[in-house]
Structure 1
Amino acid sequence: MRCVVLYSSKGGNTRMVADALADALSTDVDKVTPVEVVPGHEGDAVSSVAEADAVLAGFWTDKGDCAPEMAQVLSQLEGKRVFLFGTAGFGGEAAYFERIVANVKTHLPESAVLIGSAMCQGKMGMAVRRRYEAALAEHPGDARMQAMIDNFDAALSHPSAEDLAGIVDAAKDALDL
């Protein structure tokens, strides 16, 4: 089996998951190739999957969906078996991750076969926390904003080893390995 691990990573979280997948699959498949989806070079990513038996496509969450460059690549995976994996700054609720995956899978062509998916939380940049702190300073006692700060702090330890193992296991199950 030949697999390509495509990924789009803004802060490094999705790259970390992609690396863990490529490493774990390298002992179970004939060939596994990690390929970063770079804005402006989406065609290179699409070309890399021509001979792949399966595509593991990783994304960072951008407003409840994947980034536009990943959406463009996903839309060109005609006839491919696809496993979606992603990272999101907010986590802890399976329903939230399911909504994101539902949005992302709409980019796949009808001929693509979604064989599985998995997501985990990922840390966010400090600029995000500063925005939350500024909003809380403007509205002291805002429970929603305090919850955002608490989530930010909880996300700092993600993706964790447990997150990586969970996504690797889900991918192996989807690939029947």
Structure 2
Amino acid sequence: MRYSIVYSSNTGNTRQLAEEIEKQLPAGELVYCGAPDTAALQAEVLFVGFWTDKGSCDEKVAELLKQADGKTVYLFGTAGFGQSQQYFDQILARVRENLPAGAVYGGGFMCQGRMPQAVRSRYEAMQAKEPENARYKMLIENFDAALAHPNADDLEAATAWAKSCLA
């Protein structure tokens, strides 16, 4: 089955997943791998990766998804917060809203990813204004935990997921 891997990556996390998935899937069936481009639509199956932007995907990915009529689409992504499958499922549901009625959603995979240092700086500034606010402490702790992601376990899980999609 011919497939494409399309991804948008703001900090390199989603690119890591996409590159690992590309290494593990059959090379002979790969039509396209790279940034959102209509060339990817030549395949029957699309693996579409995204970084989480305000709880969904960025606009380039959204626009490509809207053109995926008649395709089977598998979504994968990264998010700065990663301690809840429920949170990941909510993101995937919002991203899926970009698919046309004629597309088939095959499933999704998400894991936690690193965030830019500017995010931690913003959290620290908020905490400095309200040192007793437990939420700001939690945000900083999550930021620090996210620095280790995607890790080897995340990459292994992503490739196992992608292989199962084509099985």
Mapping 1:12-31, distance limit 5 Å: 12-26=12-26, 30-31=29-30
Identity across the alignment (%): 46
Q: Out of 94, 103, 114, which is 2:85 matched to?
A: 94
* Equivalent pairs, count: 167
Residue 130 of structure 1 aligns with which residue?
121
Q: CA RMSD in A?
A: 1.2
| Structure 1 match to 2:34 | 35
| TM-superposed deviation, 1:49 | 2.0
Distance across 2 between alignment mates of 1:174 and 1:154: 29
Gaps of 5+ in 1: 38-44
Q: C-alpha displacement at 1:68, in angstroms?
A: 1.0
Residue of structure 1 equivalent to 2:55? 64
Q: Distance in 1 between matches of 2:44 and 2:153?
A: 27
Asked whether the equivalents of residues 33 and 40 of structure 2 are also in contact (C-alpha less than 8 Å), the reply is no
The TM-score normalised by the length of structure 1 is: 0.91
Residue type of the partner of 2:79? Answer: A
- TM-score when scaled to structure 2? 0.96
Alpha carbons of structure 1 residues 32 and 163: separation in structure 2 relative to 1, 3 Å: farther
For 1:86 and 1:75, the matched residues in 2 are separated by 17
C-alpha deviation, 1:106, in angstroms: 0.5
CA positional deviation for 1:32:
5.2
After TM superposition, which residue ranges in structure 1, 4 or more long, deviate above 2 angstroms? 29-33
Where does 1:3-18 land on structure 2 (aligned, <5 Å)? Answer: 3-18=3-18
Aligned match of 1:174: 165
| Aligned counterpart, 1:55 | 46
| Counterpart code for 1:30 | E
Distance in 2 of aligned mates of 1:154 and 1:47: 37
Q: Distance in 1 between matches of 2:156 and 2:66?
A: 28
Partner amino acid for 1:114? Y
1:153 corresponds in structure 2 to 144
Structure 2 segments unaligned to the other structure (5+ residues): none
